[in-house]
Chains A and B, each alone.
Chain A
């Protein structure tokens, strides 16, 4: 008996040991980012390295705002993320509902056409999308980043799966009451598809907040730049002042970090769902 228990504990200790080493490797860069962001420049390049700064240099965070229109970047990114997420949830769920629960001529072929977008690598769309933006005169505007992101084959596909799983009885009852399909979608089905909406919402939010290439292509003016692009432009210019760079990086990831801390379960489940469907 005792031997067996001893065996189990040594096994769990080994498991914890591996997991802790791994977790440290995962978290350490973040800790180092935070610590560096609070150092003086001299401390940051001191050899041997200063681990914890003598006085926390909160002024680095102020310097970020002096170097760059950081508030503007944050505001731009926030606007883009919110509109894209809400827009995509609405448009995708509308289409997904129709594809999942209404029979209409051409349904399968139209769905297949939408689905074909999923198999195409993103770079194939970029040049023509860019030219559309040039033609519309939308370069260096927020809508250039927002508009193509409102439509998603992936989101439509994902939500369709959710709508297909809902029982038919609900719909029948509502139809007897004289509801049309839009009313059924809005009043009955949308609330029931909440797990799917949350998953897609999180996915889109993360994607919009962190995306680099498209915003960089269409938005190079500081007025309409996003955080990701702003941060990568910082890299070239102020190559050596790492405390300020780290402060900027930390500020850029902070909103998603907070959102993740609040909605941890939804984030992880959402990724599991979007990743495996």
Chain B
């Protein structure tokens, strides 16, 4: 803005040059733009965009033992309708989502709100809660399996003090999924907490000060100010957690042994995809499962876009 007068002075002098200059300049702009996006666009096309089309195509094929495949139309999709394993994996994933998402979000909001108060040692708490986020899931699974160990695990020892015989946390089909859910909530808490915390810090202090003058109690402040103003973030985190939970694999793969009695009652949709794609060499069916996942996630995304306009409170 300050240099405006200078520009006005320059203008008449260079008037003649501008058309030709801008043409070569434009050409140079295009050249550099295409050069700069080329590596990423080519890479995305080969490794991500083209594979989407290929997977959709594969979902209509059946694979033989030596990597050859033939067109079988809707067979894989028909097979899905009768596949009790797939149905069970939907149930398992559903239970996993229903518990991890709401509880995880509730706890992370709670911690974030407490950390947003005027207290000492905030950064220490924040660091400790964040630790599982940076930890390799393979290591997380390892230590929790040890805590859950039915004979020598700490958890069952603590229960035995109270005279309770602890269950087989990761091999009892009725319990294993819930044991995984606890670990999932534990390991995801810090991530959501950090996002909520940055959302809370975006709420202007003046709102709280005004509420304090009006004599509103902490509960009222939370429901009348914090919650509505945080709602865009809550909405965003809910959708992201939902999509993430829908694709759960790592924890289940590593906490439940391949030959575990609890496998049937814990395997998720993605686990089943992995099994068919890379263990059973049933790639056509695996592709159909992947397409199903794609459709469901696109539907969730569409719902998100519609709902976002409706009920989220933007100030």
Contacts and interface: CB of A to CB of B under 8 A. Distances in A.
Interface of A: 12, 15-16, 18-19, 22-23, 25-27, 29-30, 32-33, 36, 44-45, 47-49, 91-92, 94-95, 97-99, 102-105, 107, 110, 113-114, 116-117, 119-132, 134, 147-148, 150-153, 156, 180-182, 185, 206, 209-210, 212-213, 217, 227-229, 231-232, 234-236, 242, 245-246, 248-250, 252-253, 256-257, 260, 264, 267-268, 271-272, 275-276
Interface in B127-153: 127-147, 149, 151-152
A95 B131 contact: no
A191 B140 CA distance: 36
Nearest to B3: A169
B40 A91 contact: yes
A246 B152 CA distance: 14
Contacts of B28: 180-181
B278 A185 contact: no
What 3 A-B pairs have minimum CB-CB distances, sorted nearest first? A151-B43, A128-B51, A181-B32
Contacts of B189: 26
A276 B51 contact: no
Contact of B33 (A30, A102, A126, A152): A102
B261 interface: no
Given A15-B114, A124-B294, A249-B143, A23 B55 contact: no
Contact of A181 (B33, B119, B137, B246): B33
Contacts of B250: 212-213
Contact of B190 (A26, A103, A113, A209): A26
Given A213-B249, A249-B139, 13 more contacts: A15-B119, A32-B143, A32-B146, A49-B154, A110-B37, A121-B294, A125-B48, A147-B47, A181-B29, A210-B138, A252-B139, A253-B139, A256-B136
B293 A123 contact: yes
B80 interface: no
A137 to B, nearest CB: 14
Interface string B142-186: 111111010110100100000000000000000000000000001
Most interface-central of A99, A180, A209, A275 (chain B CB within 10 A): A275
13 contacts: A26-B186, A44-B152, A48-B157, A95-B40, A97-B36, A98-B32, A114-B44, A119-B298, A212-B254, A228-B136, A229-B138, A232-B254, A253-B134
Contacts of B72: none
Most interface-central of A27, A181, A229 (chain B CB within 10 A): A181
Interface in B194-217: 194-195, 197-199
A272 B197 contact: yes
Given A44-B152, A104-B33, A210-B136, A217 B39 contact: no
Interface string B282-315: 0100110111011001100100000000000000
A30 B146 CA distance: 12
A217 B199 contact: no
Given A122-B247, A256-B136, A29 B143 contact: yes
B30 A26 contact: no
Contacts of A227: 136, 138
A95 B277 CA distance: 33
Contact of B195 (A47, A264, A275): A275
B143 A127 contact: no
B137 A98 contact: no
A69 to B, nearest CB: 16
A49 B195 contact: no
Nearest to B28: A180
Most interface-central of A91, A148, A209 (chain B CB within 10 A): A91
Given A104-B30, A122-B247, A249 B37 contact: no
Given A228-B137, A271-B191, A124 B253 contact: no
Contacts of B54: 127-128, 131
B136 A231 contact: yes
B81 interface: no
